[in-house]
Amino acid sequence: MADRLYLRHSTDKQTDARQRHALAALLASGAPAYEDPATSSRVLSLYRDGFKHLLDEAAVGDTIRIADAARLFRSVADIIALRPVLIRRGLHLRVESGLLSGIDLASDDPGTKMMVSVLAAVLEFQRDMISENTREGVAAAEAGGKTLGRPAALDEGEVVELVEAYREGAAVKALARQYDIAPKTVRRVLDSAGARDVPDDLGLLLDGDAMTSRGHDVTDEDQAADADPVVVVDVPGLVAENLVDVADIAVRQALDAGQTIRRGQGYSVRVTAPVSVHAAMVEHSATALMQSPAGRKAHRVHSNRVAVVNPANPASQSPF
């Protein structure tokens, strides 16, 4: 039975110094620490990378120790989802400071269950009050003419240049180096400008030019080969799961022949198939995936990947 320490702070401007002070003796003894830096308390604990890592390594009888309850949960929904997981795994949860110190918050007795529910409700109220005060402060500052938020990474002219360069085939990473910004900032700028949007008519993914790269008029055979080349696309796992029972035989065969690639907690399927088959996957899975935030994200990622490898898309001439 081992102690496992959990630390979290909400923004990149905060630190975990106070938490480390409360857990100093345990840290000095060599107890492993798991962290979720710059992670909002609105993200349920079971969805945080650091806490998931802790659960993966914890054994029956281990004790999770936190400096204060708000580091792990701050809503009734969170503790309702968390406690059954801890109880099933035989784990204990203890707060190192304050009135709750010495109490196992993962205990399954009715008294502890009631106390933890009340505590979660108080913490949730506190979080909501902080949010309300923040909104009021922002509104007051804006009314006073103050400009809020971080300075823009690019000015208006640079944004126009970046988008035009991307549409002419520049790669995201190359643009990030050119403008000395992070690739995710480049993608955010491109998404704001709609530069990475997939056409509503997925048939456009298959449209090719009337000339080949060799410079002569294409024959029917050339046009067929150029319009529907065989390409490799990593299909997100959530997309693949929604295509298991699809009626399109070509799609099912392509997925069955694909290679599963593990990516942390998730996975993707590396599929080698004609562009038309990849476009069909996007079309067949779109409706089901639009029902959830995770599904919409998977659909967007998959659509972008298909658009990038399509020869009719200028961006496909450079690595994404």
Q: Answer whether residue 252 is part of any domain.
A: yes
pLDDT per residue over 92-102, tens digit each?
A: 999 987 767 77
Q: Answer whether residue 141 is part of any domain.
A: no
What's 74's DSSP letter? -
Domain that holds residue 20: 3-127
pLDDT per residue over 210-234, tens digit each?
A: 444 344 454 555 455 456 788 888 8
Residues 190 and 210 in one domain: no
Residues 261 and 299 in one domain: yes
Residues 95 and 173 in one domain: no
Residues 253 and 187 in one domain: no
Mean local confidence (pLDDT), 126-130: 76
Q: Which pLDDT score, from 0 to 100, does residue 122 have?
A: 80
Supply the CATH number for residue 36's domain.
Answer: 3.40.50.1390
Residues 208 and 192 in one domain: no
Q: Answer whether residue 137 is part of any domain.
A: no
| 92-95 sheet: strands from edge to edge | 33-36, 3-8, 63-66, 92-95
Residues 269 and 190 in one domain: no
Last residue of a domain, one of 165, 196, 227: 196
pLDDT per residue over 21-79, tens digit each?
A: 999 999 999 999 999 998 887 788 888 999 999 999 999 999 999 998 888 887 777 88
Residues 191 and 208 in one domain: no
CA angle, 266 then 270 then 275, to 5°? 130
Q: Answer whether residue 142 is part of any domain.
A: no
Q: Answer whether residue 140 is part of any domain.
A: no
Tell me how many domains the chain contains: 3
Residues 230 and 173 in one domain: no
Residues 23 and 117 in one domain: yes
Is the pLDDT assigned to residue 315 strictly greater than 50? no
Residues 99 and 51 in one domain: yes
- List helix spans (H) across 63-182: 76-89, 110-143, 156-167, 172-179
Residues 116 and 99 in one domain: yes
Q: Answer whether residue 144 is part of any domain.
A: no
